[in-house]
Structure 1
């Protein structure tokens, strides 16, 4: 009996460490995506949908090829995947667009707005119950988000953004759509094949992006002067975006959204370092206060509770029931 318990503890620690490692990789990729997008904006590249289009194409080609090779049976409904892809495409568009107006530190910190949005969505649609401790953690995250907005208003003239307040609003809107996308993705990951999910996300994402490019960005693409200085960050954005999409379902399935939320905390640290050392910009003191408040909120939100496993079991049962009805 003792040996069995010890083995389970080892497996649990191994799973946690694996999740932490994978989470840090996703954190670095997320920072790299924002950094690349900000760099393109500085070079005058105003084509947010085009930046994501190739990533969706890669997802459709790579995972679609795997799906065809395996001859998998489609479990989900196409219009569910289409709506999911639509939310993701527009979230990416808003986030990339925000880099033209606000510094990358704000983009990374304001991503935390997705946390309360995810809580509301999971409470309404997945019937997940949250304790007072988790709600207090979310409240601190929201306070941190408000501090970021005020810091941009206070230091906008030297923050490097042309319109920080407008950029902050775009980030918050994008984070809300990311919450919708991530909640939907977590449902699909636990009820359908990851390969199927990535295939249709890439397929519909590429179609929606192509339509949007044709309507809004065709003129912008003609005005871009392509060179090594613009092509490299564009390529870096595409590759890191593809890797992020590929690894996120693995983390959601093995460790859940709490681990992913905690991992994103370090992306804010990387963003600050990039801004200080790569852009040689000053960081307003409110950023540090906002980061500390957000960090405390995320830690409180991610702390384990005694009834956590019971809540997870109830959520799995609910997902299985809804999966049988909808998919």
Structure 2
């Protein structure tokens, strides 16, 4: 929960400084309501009698804050590349480098766990399900970033805690505090307020997205045209070096 809350102001600051995103009063009100909903969830957990305490809460909180800042940097950087280049290229590079880095981390940090794991259906199927979920998530993120931006993405991720509560209720039949439902309503209301646009704002954003799409299409068309012209130039050669048969006969 802390990582969700702290990532939002980091994303707002980074998009405002580097991407020149403009935020009005209504958007700040929506963000405040969303964060307020998560704070209600935190208070509910604090007052829970079965809450487990870690050995070093301060150290854990510092790691969470550092991780949320890096996650904000990652989302804002991805938004920049999605809006300035091709989404397919961004997804391809994300998958390639993500696979390489994850493989290195697993081989260094979790090689003992890999050796001791019994690879049966019960162990493999959860990995497959997680991989499919991550594929769908990261295939959708570039579209959300291009249309709505990194701030809206992080605000939407706040609802993940609420879905976890629903799983606790219906799958594990656990009782939850009433504040969870108030928090869910507050987060949903904040998202609606943040994403609401007047007719003028909607027209401007539609024109901006259409312009970015047209620019990407023009760039790809120019690249294809340049690639098609190169073989012709090599085969035929410059027009000035060609001599027609009639001219050669006349000169003789």
Pair in the same fold by TM > 0.5: yes
- Structure 2 unaligned blocks of 5 or more: 216-252
Query: 1:224 maps to what in 2?
Result: 117
- Give the structure 2 partner of residue 214 of structure 1: 107
1:235 aligns with 2:119: no
| Aligned-partner Cα distance in 1 for 2:25–2:11 | 16
Q: TM-score under structure 1 normalisation?
A: 0.53
What are the within-5 Å matches in structure 2 for residues 162-311 of structure 1?
Answer: 163=54, 174-253=67-146, 255-257=147-149, 260=153, 264=157, 267=160, 269-305=162-198, 308-309=201-202
2:26, 2:193 within 8 Å by CA — same for their partners in 1?
Answer: yes
- Residue of 33, 36, 42 corresponding to 1:149: 42
Shift of residue 304, structure 1, vs aligned partner: 0.9
* Larger Rg computed on CA atoms: 2
Q: Any unmatched runs of 5+ in structure 1?
A: 1-105, 321-327
Q: Determine helix, strand or coil for the equivalent of 2:21.
A: coil
Alignment of 1:66-145 (within 5 A): 111=4, 113-145=6-38
Give the Cα–Cα distance (whole angstroms) in 1 for the partners of residues 93 and 68 of structure 2: 22
Pairwise CA distance, 1:196: 1.4
Assess, with a 3 A threshold, how the Cα gap between structure 1 residues 288 and 282 changes in structure 2: closer, same or farther.
same
Given that 1:114 and 1:176 are in contact with CA atoms closer than 8 Å, whether structure 2 keeps it comes out as: yes
What do you get for the CA RMSD once the two structures are aligned? 3.6
CA drift at 1:197: 1.1
Q: Deviations over 1:107-147 (max 9, x none)?
A: 9xx63654333222111111112111111211222222322
Q: What is the CA deviation profile of residues 179-231 of structure 1, one whole-angstrom value per residue up to 9, with x for unaligned ones?
A: 32222222211211222112211221122222222222112222333332222
The question of whether the paired residues in 2 share the 8 Å contact of 1:127 and 1:315 is answered with: no
| TM, length-normalised to structure 2 | 0.66
Preserved CA contact (<8 Å) 1:121 1:180: yes
Match of 2:36, SS state, is helix
Change (3 A) 1:149 1:268: closer
Task: Tell me the distance in 1 between the aligned counterparts of 2:6 and 2:27.
Answer: 15
How many corresponding residue pairs?
Answer: 210
Cα displacement string for residues 52-102 of structure 1 (whole angstroms, at most 9, x for unaligned residues): xxxxxxxxxxxxxxxxxxxxxxxxxxxxxxxxxxxxxxxxxxxxxxxxxxx
